[in-house]
A and B are shown apart, each in its own frame.
Chain A
Amino acid sequence: MAEAKRRSISFPRYAEYGCALKYIMEQALDVKYVMPPALTKHTMELGTKYSPDYVCTPFKTVLGSMIEALEAGADTLIMTHGLCRLGYYGELLEQILRDLGYQFDFINLSDYDMDKKKEYIKIIRRINPKVNPARCLAQFMEGLRMVEYLDEITGEYYKGCGFDPTGTEYKRAYQDFLTAMYTAHCRSDVETGYRAAKGRLQSIPLDKPAQPLRVGVVGEFYTAMDAFSNLELEQKLADMRVEVHRWMTMTNQFLHYGNGQKNLRIKIQDLCQYDMGPTATANIWYARQCAERGFDGLIHIKSAGCTPEIDVMPVLQNISADYKIPVLYLTYDVQTSDVGLQTRLEAFYDMIAMRKKVF
């Protein structure tokens, strides 16, 4: 029986959330987690080769990462559900991988009704029938706590990184934090790693002007968060001495706001009356929030063909006109070049920097 063997489970690489997933799988559910290799051009080549051409870029990245995970020895793959086309991706990914001849068990969260708590128990039973769902709750919560810490430290990192006078200390503190999270085995590992990172980031004296340039990043769920997919947009901005703010994180989207984005929807009802997709409401709300707080610019990120985010763009244009805040729209595709992005970001930086001096 396949169930008797301890599963080697994997999930495609997604920003740095792999560490939390690993923690949950290994500590709470007692299965082996196969960490897929870091995303590289090779991953993209693999994904592009076996994907339909017109599918959005995250699909290709995810497929590439799944292939790499299977090559690394995973026997079970998980795929998330989603509110846009993402909801259908699991099925398509499974079919493509089976056609390629891989043998694996595929847990597609789209098959479950994720609004019901009972379904979670079903999923846990399926992953590891020997685990008592009630007993693993504590470790599960620790894993979620890790997600919160990760987002908090990452947010702090991109706000301060550009103003680190040593140029390396901040980066090193962040890297050490990630290492600590990836290697955490128990609650105290998580807590110590977090506290150490928080302390280190705060102890580095920043050379920040009284009114630094502040840029808000909004956009599609995968590309906005995954540094590899957006060609390290946030790091590039930070390196130009910009304070980078991004609301869109796992923590905010799922843990803190989850199904409760109704209040955000009410706040933006003068801009748009309907919910337009998985991240539209939050993005519009946050874009206006940034504008009201006097940010110097907004950057809107989407992968080519992402319909929900295309719908957001006209609303952002209205915000841009109402609040006189420049918005840079970026579309990412497999072919998007680093140089092209650099040109646009440099121009954007020059513009907001010159603007700040005049207005």
Chain B
Amino acid sequence: MEHAYLGVDVGSISTKGVIIDKENNILASQYIWTQGDPIGAVKELVGLLEAQFDRERYKVVATGTTGSARKLVGTILGATMVKNEITAHAVGTTTFYPDVRTILEIGGQDSKIILVENGVAVDYAMNTLCAAGTGAFLSSQAKRLGIEVEEIGDYALRSTHPTQIAARCTVFAESDLVHKIQMGHPREDIIAGVCNAVASNYLNNVGKGKKIVSPVVFQGGVSKNKGVVAAFERALGCKVIVDPNGHLMGALGVAILAKKGSKRQEFDFAVENMEFHTREASCGKCSNHCEIICVYRGDELIDAWGNRCERGERTR
């Protein structure tokens, strides 16, 4: 039996999973929508990965989780490595592109920039307080314009005169966009304008004060949008590399981290059939009223978190 490693990245919009072997070759990969139900998405993901995976030849010996639901999913999957998405992306990208200097990442709710030197992340920034210019903005505008989010890129590339759209803030961008639609701008130009707005918003907010050096790798769900890639290439004046597996990079990174980690625990594909649910409880031991999340497998409490002091700790 050869060893394999599972990496799962559960984001706000999409859930990604990969299984890799010792040489970081992808044995199975899947990309599905989270749809507000991380537990359900992960169970579905595990089932889909199992179907692609040769269980006679390989066994999964370590599991890593990342993304905003990493803790919850890590508990459910019995992960050996729970890592934040910034580190996961940096590790994944530098493994496949050792020369990379700048990693741009735009996901569903967040965006980050990671600066790399000599194969190691040296500086990073992540959007705070505001989700302007992320995938959520693109998908809501696609819905407004009556097209699928996947088609945005093709529409944008057909445009010759992209419309100027106020890029400072999503709310302003949206009102400006409605105005431009009503003024009679063609749809292609508006979509290209939205893509430019995302790129310039990113560079003015997250990328502010950061020196962007080529080679640049662009990833996250939005990297699949050719219009935004073209907008970045125009704004930065250099080539922007988009990996065919760019949307899986977080999952790949955490799988690699799980492989490098010392913990080993064979992964049980049976989780797809187990029943998990969560319950929110308010701790009443002081006036802070910490919201404590309890995770149950069937009726059994397997983990709880959210307390700020030891008074709220789970007692067995």
Of B87, B90, B119, B122, the contact of A346 (CB 8 Å cutoff): B87
Of the listed residues B118, B119, B128, the one surrounded by the most CB atoms of chain A closer than 10 A to its CB is B128
Q: Which of A296-355 contact B (CB under 8 A)?
A: 304, 313-314, 317, 320-321, 324, 326-327, 329-331, 333, 335-336, 338-340, 343-344, 346-348, 350-351, 354-355
Contacts of A336 in B (CB 8 A): 129
Contacts of B124 in A (CB 8 A): 326, 347-348, 351
For the complex formed, measure the closest distance between the CB of A19 and the CB atoms of chain B, giving whole angstroms. Answer: 20
Interface stretch, picked from B137-145, B191-199, B286-294, is B286-294
CA distance A94 to B6 in the complex (A): 58
Q: Are B122's CB and A347's CB within 8 A?
A: no
Which chain A residue shows the least CB distance to B288? Answer: A40
Q: Are A41's CB and B123's CB within 8 A?
A: no
Whether A37 is near chain B, meaning CB under 8 Å from some CB there, is yes
How many residues on chain A are close to B (CB under 8 Å)? 35
For the complex formed, measure the closest distance between the CB of B129 and the CB atoms of chain A, giving whole angstroms. Answer: 6
For the complex formed, measure the closest distance between the CB of B124 and the CB atoms of chain A, giving whole angstroms. Answer: 6
Given contacts A40-B286, A351-B90, A354-B120, contact A321 B211 (CB under 8 A): yes
> Binary interface profile of B, 277-292, with partner A (CB < 8 Å = 1, else 0)?
0000000001111100
CA distance A232 to B288 in the complex (A): 14
Which chain B residue shows the least CB distance to A326? Answer: B123
Whether A49 is near chain B, meaning CB under 8 Å from some CB there, is no
CA distance A347 to B84 in the complex (A): 6
Which chain A residue shows the least CB distance to B286? Answer: A40
CA distance A39 to B186 in the complex (A): 55
Of the listed residues B85, B120, B123, B286, the one surrounded by the most CB atoms of chain A closer than 10 A to its CB is B123
Q: Which of A22-46 contact B (CB under 8 A)?
A: 37, 40-42
For the complex formed, measure the closest distance between the CB of A34 and the CB atoms of chain B, giving whole angstroms. Answer: 17
How many residues on chain B are close to A (CB under 8 Å)? 26
Q: Which of B69-94 contact A (CB under 8 A)?
A: 83-87, 90
Given contacts A324-B122, A354-B121, A355-B121, contact A347 B87 (CB under 8 A): yes
Given contacts A40-B288, A346-B84, A347-B87, contact A333 B129 (CB under 8 A): yes
Q: Are A358's CB and B123's CB within 8 A?
A: no
Which chain B residue shows the least CB distance to A68? Answer: B287
Given contacts A329-B125, A343-B85, A343-B86, contact A41 B288 (CB under 8 A): yes
Of B122, B123, B209, B286, the contact of A314 (CB 8 Å cutoff): B209
Given contacts A333-B129, A347-B86, A358-B118, contact A320 B288 (CB under 8 A): no
Q: Which of A146-162 contact B (CB under 8 A)?
A: none
CA distance A354 to B90 in the complex (A): 11
Whether B126 is near chain A, meaning CB under 8 Å from some CB there, is yes
Given contacts A42-B289, A321-B211, A331-B129, contact A350 B84 (CB under 8 A): yes
Q: Are B129's CB and A326's CB within 8 A?
A: no
Task: Sort A-B residue pairs by CB-CB distance and give the 10 closest, nearest first.
Answer: A347-B86, A40-B288, A317-B209, A350-B87, A326-B123, A346-B84, A42-B287, A40-B287, A351-B121, A343-B84
- Further pairs besides A232-B308, A317-B209, A354-B121: 19, Cβ < 8 Å: A40-B286, A42-B287, A313-B209, A321-B211, A326-B124, A329-B128, A343-B68, A343-B126, A346-B87, A347-B85, A347-B87, A347-B126, A350-B84, A350-B86, A350-B87, A351-B90, A351-B122, A358-B118, A359-B118
**Residues of chain B at the chain A interface (Cβ within 8 Å):** 68, 83-87, 90, 118-126, 128-129, 209, 211, 286-290, 308
**Residues of chain A at the chain B interface (Cβ within 8 Å):** 37, 40-42, 232, 304, 313-314, 317, 320-321, 324, 326-327, 329-331, 333, 335-336, 338-340, 343-344, 346-348, 350-351, 354-355, 357-359
Task: Write 11 A-B pairs (CB below 8 A) sorted by A numbering.
Answer: A40-B287, A41-B290, A42-B289, A324-B122, A329-B128, A331-B128, A336-B129, A338-B308, A346-B87, A351-B86, A357-B120
